[in-house]
Structure 1
Amino acid sequence: MSAATATKTAIPPSGGGLSRESHPLAGTGTLLRFNLRRDRVRLPVWIGALFLGTLSTLSSTVSQYPEAEDRRSAAGSLDSPAGLAMTGPGHYLDDYNYGSMLSHQMLGFMAVLVGLMSVLIVARHTRTEEETGRAELVRATVVGRHAHLTAALVTAALANLALGLLIAVGVGGQGTEGVNWGGSLLYGAVHTMAGLVFAAVAAITVQISQYARGASGMALAVIGVAYALRAAGDVGNGVLSWLSPIGWAQRTYPYVDDRWWPVLLGLALAAVATVVAYRLSTLRDVGGSLRATRLGSPVASAALTRPIGFALRLHRGMLAGFGAGLLLMGVMYGSILGDAEEMIEDVDELREAVEKIGGATIAESFASTVMIVIAVVAAVYVVMATLRPQSEETAGRAEPLLATGLSRTCWVASHLAVAMGGGVAILFLTGLGFGISGAVATGDGGLFLDLLIAPLAYAPALWVTAGITVTLFGWLPRITAVAWIVPVYAFLVGYLGQILDFPDWLNNLSPFGHVAKLPAEAMEWTPALILTALAAALVALGLAGFRRRDLETK
């Protein structure tokens, strides 16, 4: 028998159809199940937090405004440019029942959070996979070129559908006056629509940037622009609000007019953006991007040859983004100081929280109340920046660096220095914007220096946040996500706790709870020094842990 008889010729698929190997969506189901498996903790936490936050807000609204007169007073206090910019269009104020109050005060804020969740999901399951090299390995198997993007978008869609359904059922089932089932279904659908729009935006940005952080940053910038257009349109030219999907979400008017057609407009935008994303994905290679990487100098600058200079180069994009964002936040908060007394006079809980702080003027007390929000956003930057060494380690870029004469301590300490110093820098920028706009809004030039310095009082609390994060990175790198509890808890007990009158001991568990509430209070140096010492101890502990554990290698 000849050897030729042992060989069989491969038979191509009949009918001219595509084989499973060549189908662009091959393996999508498997990747989807894998994504859901990886996010089995993240997604329930996100969805649960947004759902419970909505229900608690509705419950708080009912308890704070039991009478129709109370709700009319609240509507009057928000019927100002500053109030509308922070909430939503004035049409909600025409019939300020519990449902319209919830939509007016929460939809814009929730759209930002849902957008953030969607952006992170898409970036995590697309660009991060390519950046780490895992996508290339997976694509070498029976996986189509569009499978990763499709699985990521479906994961985001399922998360947003679950959130929208939970909110609709949860809010509608409360039996609250003015909260009917028709409005609740629309209210939940609006959340899903906003999430789908920003997931599609992220699907485009991951094609443009070669790095997950850059892609997420561009998508978050789009969310910021959408929110700014919405605020500007609600205060002045209403056309601007129609340029923003957040404006579309608010103009569905749940519990007022119950318009469904803006939801269809958002879904159409999401569909178009998704088609664009798929088209753009065909124009690049796996691991590449549409934006060409700029050629660097053939000779490194003196700063890049030093650990601190190299770390600053890696962090500069995120630092600049947070700095610009917090500068604008400071300007926004400062611009409403002149209307602070009018805004809070009919909101008993907020007025009592402000009065509890004290201070020479309502403007100073109100500034002290919102200062915690600024500090929490700065803490988000600090956590992200402190975790940058973990990203470098996971991606395999730390190993070749540490194979040289660079010590582990020096490498992590350089990133820590940028994180902690950068946190102080963005606090200063916030104070600068706050001080300038606040002084102009109130006509009190002496307020400028007070508002410039006030955010800096939170620097020791930021350093403690960095210390906790680096301790987790050094000793327990698998659970570094626990570090996010620090800013989230600080916001819940530091800001909402003041309004909802939480016990003082809850606030004392947060490092931010021991900071003097400038400019209404005098600076207290003893807690600041203790927090600084605690931060130094935590940093030393984290560095010691990193020196002792094994490095993740590729």
Structure 2
Amino acid sequence: MSAAAGTPALVRLALRRDRIMIPAWVLVTFVLIAGSARATTDLYATVGQRVRFVATSNGTPAIVALYGRIPDARSPGSVALFKIDIIGAVLAAVLSILLVVRHTRAEEESGRLELVGATGVGRRAPLTAALLVAGGADLALGLLSAAGLVAVGLPVEGSLVAGTAFATVGFAFAAIAAVVAQLTSSGRAAVGLSSAVLVAVYVVRAAGDSADAGGARRLTWLSPLGWGRQFRPYAGDRWWVALVTLGFAAVMVAAAYVLVARRDLGAGLLPDRPGPPRAGRALAGPLGLAWRLQRTSLLWWTVAFAILGAVLGGMAGSVSDIVGDSAGAGDLITKLGGGEALTDAFLSTELSFLGIGAAVFGVQTAMRARGEETAGAAELVLAASVGRFRWLASWLAVALAGTALLMAVAGVASGLVYAGQSGDGGETGRLAGAALARVPAVWVSVGVVAAAFGLLPRLAAAGWAALALFLVLTEGGPLLGLPQGVQDVSPFTHVPHLPGGQASAAPFGWLFAVAVVLLAAGLAGFRRRDLTS
């Protein structure tokens, strides 16, 4: 039997399982890229405005470290890709990691791959199918992103180069995830290690971009994210960089196939660390177990939010210089979620993005309950003296408390940095409060997952689709001119525009009430239904 036998059937199965996640992810990326490009081109319509903006942006270390340098100040397309070139590459990378791990190591860990392997399926077929699905998703993301850039009036060739950059960076991280999946023995560890690689190459790229001209700038060539920026769409159109990303992906894929043949099914090449012979008191209940399983993830999320908050606070003092005298700048940022003051408008907009990021952690944590159920672990816990309400409430408590912690950390970090710049110590509390104002909307997102899990468990993954819809409506709705009634479907549109806007208790009360109803529905439904696999 061929080592790749059964690959087409596994590809069809993977596409069926991801029929919601892949289109939702690609659609969100398309809306973000097209909406941001259109907004930026309208904001900096003249050469003089673009030159002043690029001078300020490239001269601000925090902005360069976060998003990179803009290569051509006179090119509308080059300026339009500000932020979204690195964001698009990261979104493609994360999608690739999730797809490859989901259909290789996670399937192996659950035992399903062993059953599949007992049929007419070759040893390399699961990895091949996962790479084909991830590669196809990256290709769709790249093509649709290019179409979005063309639709907003940017040149076709540069748009295709930008789409190629997104897609090939995704290919590179699919290959990285394929190797990591052979090293670890659990899907959670594979995603964590692959994500750590993504963070590491982001830091390397940031160090290279923010370094002075000279040798240190070459660090960007050591990062797949740096390669994505070296395509220079609309500022040189370097097609040949695709040879670098695709060559790297080919080498890593070849290494993954070699490693597949050298390990046992279900085992990783890295040895597992043995745990203590007895569990501590913290693991005596379901809350301690949920916390133990999520604490490492929460730690890294907290570190990331602290860094992002600090960068946000550092950028706030340069907002007026960045916007410059571009026509309609204040009105644009106000539409995106700001108040009267330009700096407050910028902070409000960016805190909204962080709120959606916190919702990702909340949805991910709430979804772990479904993973525990399908893996059979929930049945073992519930066989002891643990009630269903207590078990599910423990997972939801970690999700709710974790999201609140993330927003508090981001708000305090941004407030401390901005207070240091402005000399106003009151900014710390003001920005912390503004960040926490997003928490009720985040809890609504968690409530959607809880309700689906309790009432319609097989549709629990629709929580990701709901979050994607919230993101499109919140961040893309004003730019796309959607009716206010449609935008109001997202809970994030009901959050007062803080800092800088007027706040009342009513929106928070309604959001909190909706979250409570959804959470209660999920808990009640789970108590009455059968466990499913």
Q: TM-score, normalised by structure 2?
A: 0.90
Label 1:312 to 1:358 Cα distance change in 2 as closer, same or farther (>3 A): closer
Aligned-partner SS, 2:385: coil
State the one-letter code of the partner of 1:158. G
Match of 2:193 among 201, 218, 221: 218
**Is contact 1:24–1:145 with CA below 8 Å preserved after alignment?**
yes
Q: How many corresponding residue pairs?
A: 527
* Per-residue deviation, 1:527: 2.7
Q: Deviations over 1:307-327 (max 9, x none)?
A: 211111111122112111111
2:380 aligned to 382, 386, 400, which one? Answer: 400
Residues 1:436 and 2:416 aligned together: yes
CA RMSD in angstroms, aligned pairs only: 2.7
Q: Give the 3-state SS of the residue equivalent to 2:396 in structure 1.
A: helix
C-alpha separation in 1, matches of 2:312 and 2:371: 34
Alignment check: 8 A CA contact 1:36 1:155 kept: yes
1:541 aligns with 2:521: yes
Gaps spanning 5+ residues in structure 1: where?
Answer: 1-19
The partner residue of 2:304 within 317, 321, 325 is 325
* In 2: Cα distance, 1:534 partner to 1:187 partner: 41
Residue 94 of structure 2 is aligned with which of 113, 116, 121? Answer: 116
Higher relative contact order (CA 8 A, sep 6+): 2
- Alignment CA distance shift 1:144-1:498 (3 Å): same
Matched with 2:78 is 100
Measured after TM superposition, the shift of residue 216 of structure 1 is 1.5
- Which has the higher mean CA deviation after the structures are superposed, 228-237 or 125-134? 228-237
Closer/same/farther in 2, CA of residues 435 and 263 from structure 1, 3 Å limit:
same
Query: 1:13: which partner in 2?
Result: none
Tell me, yes or no, if structure 1 residue 448 matches structure 2 residue 428: yes
Tell me if the contact between 2:49 and 2:324 (Cα under 8 Å) persists in the aligned partners.
Answer: no
1: CA distance between counterparts of 2:205 and 2:426?
A: 33
Structure 1 residue 412: deviation in Å? 0.4
Q: How does 1:393-542 map to 2 (within 5 A)?
A: 393-497=373-477, 504-521=484-501, 523-542=503-522
Matched residue, 1:148: 126
For the Cα contact (< 8 Å) 1:349–1:500, is it kept in 2?
A: no
Q: Is the aligned partner of 1:297 residue 2:272? A: no
Alpha-carbon spacing, 1:114–1:287, altered in 2? closer, same or farther (3 Å): same
Task: Provide, for residues 43-99 of structure 1, a one-character-per-residue CA deviation record: whole Å limited to 9, x for no partner.
Answer: 333334434544444444554455444544543453432443444323222x323x3
> What is the CA distance between 1:240 and its match in structure 2?
2.6
The answer as to whether partners of 1:337 and 1:442 remain within 8 angstroms in 2 is: no
Which one of the candidate residues 55, 62, 71 is aligned to 1:91? 71
Alpha carbons 1:207, 1:289 under 8 Å: kept = yes
Q: CA deviation at 1:233?
A: 2.3
CA contact (8 A) 2:169 2:224 kept: yes
Q: In the TM superposition, what whole-angstrom CA distance separates every residue of 1:513-532 from its partner, at most 9, and x where no partner exists?
A: 33333332465333323322
In structure 2, do the counterparts of structure 1 residues 508 and 349 end up closer, same or farther at CA, with 3 Å as the change threshold?
Answer: farther
Gap regions ≥5 residues in structure 2: none
For 2:385, the aligned partner's letter is G
1: CA distance, partners of 2:188 / 2:141: 25
Q: Which amino acid aligns with 1:377?
A: G
SS in 1 for 2:72: helix
Q: TM-score, normalised by structure 1?
A: 0.87
CA shift at 1:115, angstroms? 0.8
Alpha-carbon deviations, 1:207-241, whole Å to 9, x = none?
Answer: 22222222112222322332333233222242232
What is the aligned counterpart of 2:359 among 349, 355, 379? 379
Tell me if the contact between 1:74 and 1:346 (Cα under 8 Å) persists in the aligned partners.
Answer: no
- 1:348-363 equivalences under 5 Å are 348-354=327-333, 362-363=342-343
The AA in structure 1 aligned to 2:222 is: L
Q: 1:8-87 residue pairs with structure 2 within 5 A?
A: 20=1, 23-81=2-60, 82-87=62-67
Q: Which sits farther off after the overlay, 320-329 or 34-43?
A: 34-43
In structure 2, distance between residues paired with 1:104 and 1:415: 38
Give the aligned partner of residue 188 of structure 1: 163
* 1:341 alignment counterpart: 320
- Distance of aligned partners of 1:57 and 1:327 in 2 relative to their CA distance in 1, 3 Å threshold: closer
Percent of aligned pairs sharing the same letter: 38
Change (3 A) 1:342 1:67: closer
Q: CA deviation at 1:168?
A: 4.6
CA contact (8 A) 2:172 2:246 kept: yes
SS at match of 1:92: coil
Q: Does 1:389 align with 2:369?
A: yes
The 1-side partners of 2:406 and 2:40 are apart by: 34
More moved, 381-390 vs 57-66: 57-66
Shift of 1:472: 0.8
The answer to whether the 8 A contact 1:89-1:250 is kept is no
Structure 1 residues 213-222 or 328-337, which shifts more?
Answer: 213-222
- How many Å separate the matches in 2 of 1:240 and 1:259? 18
| 1:180, distance to aligned residue in structure 2 (A) | 4.0
Q: Is the 8 A contact 2:138 2:170 kept in 1?
A: yes
CA distance in 1, matches of 2:34, 2:411: 34
Q: Specify the alignment match of 1:198 in structure 2.
A: 173
